[in-house]
Structure 1
Amino acid sequence: MSAPAPLRAVQGDATLLRSVFGCFPSGVTAVCAEVDGVAVGMAASSFTSVSMTPPLVSVCVQNSSRTWPVLRRADRIGVSVLSEEHETACRSLSAKSGDRFAGIDWFSVENAAVFLSGASALLDCTVHDEVPAGDHTIILLEIHQLLADHDTVPLVFHGSRFRRLMQA
């Protein structure tokens, strides 16, 4: 077996680092709530399960985010695991300006958590903790209510592109 190309130093090469991070496929989530009667949300691909007791998940948010400071004020935050049908919604929720919810089928529950219709999972959460991590903050969310639809195929982000899972 031949040796791979030599490893490269990461220092100062954000393009290389982003390319390598993109080798790891991830699901995509919408993190949303109603704040002062207005739907606020963002897309996050850095989502992972953390703990069963207490039930925790995490998302990572850029420190420069203008959305997170608004979302963190919400009593409850909805996390929707996006389905393969949500590519356009994901792009909209990632936009820097404009109405991020235009054309998106969403709903809120009585505690103001906002969810996208047709998601493969829904998690109703509160902020448990925030941990500084370089140019991002790791947001730990405690899950209070949830719902899963295992027949809904999730949206996958890999190599800076949206992908679809093969159905067996």
Structure 2
Amino acid sequence: MNADNLVIDAGVPGPAELRRVLGHFATGVAVIAAHDGTRPLGFTCQSVVSVSLDPPYVSFCPAKTSTSWPLLRRAGALCINILAEEQREMCRGFAVSGGDKFAGVEWDRAGNGAPALRGALAQIEATVELEHDAGDHTVVLARIGALRAAESGRPLLFYRGEFGGFSA
């Protein structure tokens, strides 16, 4: 890395600067989904991370402004769907508030009853164990119950405010 490109500022960064700098960290994209007994629910999330292998935990961070997360929390059983590169438009559909996010989306019930999206690279069935307040987001710790992954496919990635793919 060229040192001329690196800018260090000792001040407290604002939201725009945080987005600009942290956007350089490419992340995978997932749809967190649940079923409330009447309808499927879900939202796009890029903050999914493996936390522990024993016991098996995963974490994700919904925004406090999310209208979907309180509904998913009440449902309890979740399916974290790791999206494939060709699911970009589906991802965008789950990122907006309101409307029927599942319109035109093919899915099956995972073993725990939550929606498992067809075409996803992987699915992680989980239950919420802990939530922690973290500024304008909530850190959710969920225990993994079951998981599965496709043998092929390429991930959908989020980098510098845009969706894209991976090439080796």
- TM-score, normalized by the shorter chain, greater than 0.5: yes
1:83-112, Cα deviation, whole Å (9 max, x unpaired): 001101100000112111112122223532
Cα distance between partner residues in 2 of 1:33 and 1:122: 12
Letter in 1 for 2:163: F
Aligned: 1:89 with 2:90? yes
Letter in 1 for 2:88: E
Aligned: 1:101 with 2:102? yes
Count of residues in Structure 1 that have an aligned counterpart in Structure 2? 167
Q: Indicate if the aligned counterparts of 2:112 and 2:125 stay in contact, CA closer than 8 A.
A: no
Cα distance between partner residues in 1 of 2:109 and 2:94: 16
Share of identical aligned residues, percent? 36
Aligned: 1:111 with 2:130? no
Cα distance between partner residues in 2 of 1:2 and 1:118: 42
* Structure 1 residues not aligned, in runs of 5+: none
Cα distance between partner residues in 2 of 1:123 and 1:5: 37
Q: Indicate if the aligned counterparts of 1:121 and 1:147 stay in contact, CA closer than 8 A.
A: yes
Superposition pairs of residues 140-155 of structure 1, within 5 angstroms: 140-155=141-156
Cα distance between partner residues in 2 of 1:160 and 1:6: 20
What SS does structure 1 have at the residue aligned with 2:20?
A: helix
Following TM superposition, by how much is the alpha carbon of 1:35 offset from its aligned partner in structure 2, in angstroms? Answer: 0.7
Q: Indicate if the aligned counterparts of 2:81 and 2:120 stay in contact, CA closer than 8 A.
A: yes
What SS does structure 2 have at the residue aligned with 1:70?
A: helix
Letter in 1 for 2:87: H
Which of structure 1's runs of 4+ aligned residues deviate more than 3 A? Answer: 1-6, 9-12
Cα distance between partner residues in 1 of 2:145 and 2:11: 39
With structure 2 as the length reference, what TM-score do the two structures score?
0.92
Cα distance between partner residues in 2 of 1:112 and 1:57: 19
Q: Indicate if the aligned counterparts of 1:10 and 1:16 stay in contact, CA closer than 8 A.
A: no
Given the superposition, is the C-alpha separation of residues 4 and 99 from structure 1 closer, same or farther in structure 2, using an over 3 Å criterion? same
Q: Residue 8 of structure 2 corresponds to which residue in structure 1?
A: 7
Higher alpha-carbon deviation: 3-12 or 115-124: 3-12
Cα distance between partner residues in 1 of 2:103 and 2:66: 20
Q: Indicate if the aligned counterparts of 1:83 and 1:118 stay in contact, CA closer than 8 A.
A: yes
Given the superposition, is the C-alpha separation of residues 73 and 13 from structure 1 closer, same or farther in structure 2, using an over 3 Å criterion? same
Cα distance between partner residues in 2 of 1:149 and 1:26: 19
Cα distance between partner residues in 2 of 1:123 and 1:91: 20
Cα distance between partner residues in 1 of 2:35 and 2:50: 24
What SS does structure 2 have at the residue aligned with 1:103?
A: coil
With structure 1 as the length reference, what TM-score do the two structures score?
0.92
Following TM superposition, by how much is the alpha carbon of 1:2 offset from its aligned partner in structure 2, in angstroms? Answer: 4.7
Higher alpha-carbon deviation: 24-33 or 69-78: 69-78
